[in-house]
Amino acid sequence: MQFGLALPQYDFSVPGRDRLDWPTLAAYGQRAEQVGFHSLWLSDHIVWAIDRYGARPGNHEGYDPIPTLAALARLTTTARLGTLVLAAPIRPVTVLAKALTSLDHVSAGRLTVGIGAGWFGPDFELTDTPFPSPAQRLADLGAAIDQLKASFDRAAPPGAAPANAAPPNLPPPVQQPRPPIWVGGRGPRLVQLAAAKADGWNTCWQWTPQDYAPRAADALDLAPDPDRFALSVGLYTLVGEDEADLRRRFERLKATSPLGVVDPGTTLDEYRQGRLVGTVDQVREQVQAWADLGVTTLIACLGAVPFSVTDMDDLEVVAAAGSAVP
């Protein structure tokens, strides 16, 4: 099992901060690699709101994933760098392929491309992008994946290229035949698309193994080569060295999460539901249950909303919980 970290990315991401600065984001990425996290992940929003999680309404600022991961590539050496996930409709595929190929070079072949159909209305509005029905966005995602794979595989055409030919994507990616492409989302039709067109499927941030198992089985049944198809799950994660330490960290999480996200009356047992929560030994058992379902990467979100964190001292204990599971 490989453990990834959803990095702090937005102005709400770090407790006690009204604005996230680059040195803080970089410090979390570097420290995560040092303690054993296998991958680092950023999302893709022009602006983002977290009122759907109970927080106050309003848009939040954050960092673009591609240049930010490129900067992290120069500060890290082993961790894979991934997007969770790119909003395909707002990024022209040829331009996106060029940017991702450059990122693959800058990171010496450590890129995983997570991509999705897009769902957050302001991303479309602010980029003057049409916001069609879910079915149409899913169809468009399939076409974008096909185009992205073709762009990654494209070499310079011999002789004079036709006037309408797509431009070559040179240099080609470091990873051959291309960086792995994972589709992000949770609906059954999206899982079918991921299995048919991509190299893996990610879903997050609350799942139980019982709910996830049939969806994962469908993905593996539909994948042309299930042994090479990656299953990845992102989960809100809270780990303590023992029960007392777990409760202390949970109380800190409640006190420092964005207002309205975690009700002060929420109990630890209630918070466990659909999350990766427990002592180191308890979480190791939970991780093993996910591994038994075929999951190869668990991506931890340390805060109570996506791409947020708690104190940096949570990184080491979470990494310890995942390190013992093969």
Reported as a single tens digit per residue, the pLDDT across 251-262 is 999 999 999 999
* Spatial separation of the C-alpha atoms in residues 39 and 79, rounded to whole Å: 5
Residue % of the chain over a pLDDT of 70: 95
pLDDT digits (tens, 9 = 90+) for 182-230: 999 999 999 999 999 999 999 999 999 999 999 999 999 999 999 999 9
What domains are there in the chain, each with its CATH number? Answer: 2-323 (3.20.20.30)
**pLDDT (0 to 100) of residue 161:** 46
Mean pLDDT for all residues in the chain? 94
Would the pLDDT of 156 be above 70? Answer: no
Secondary structure element (H or E) that encloses residue 183, with its range: strand 181-184
Residue % of the chain over a pLDDT of 90: 91
**pLDDT (0 to 100) of residue 52:** 94
* Burial (CB count within 10 angstroms: exposed 0-12, middle 13-18, buried 19+), residue 222: middle
Do residues 72 and 63 lie in contact, with contact meaning Cβ atoms separated by under 8 Å?
no
Main-chain dihedrals φ then ψ at residue 67, nearest 5 degrees: -65, -30
Identify the CA nearest to 305 among candidates 74, 39, 15, 38: 15
**Residue corresponding to tokens 């709910």:** 211
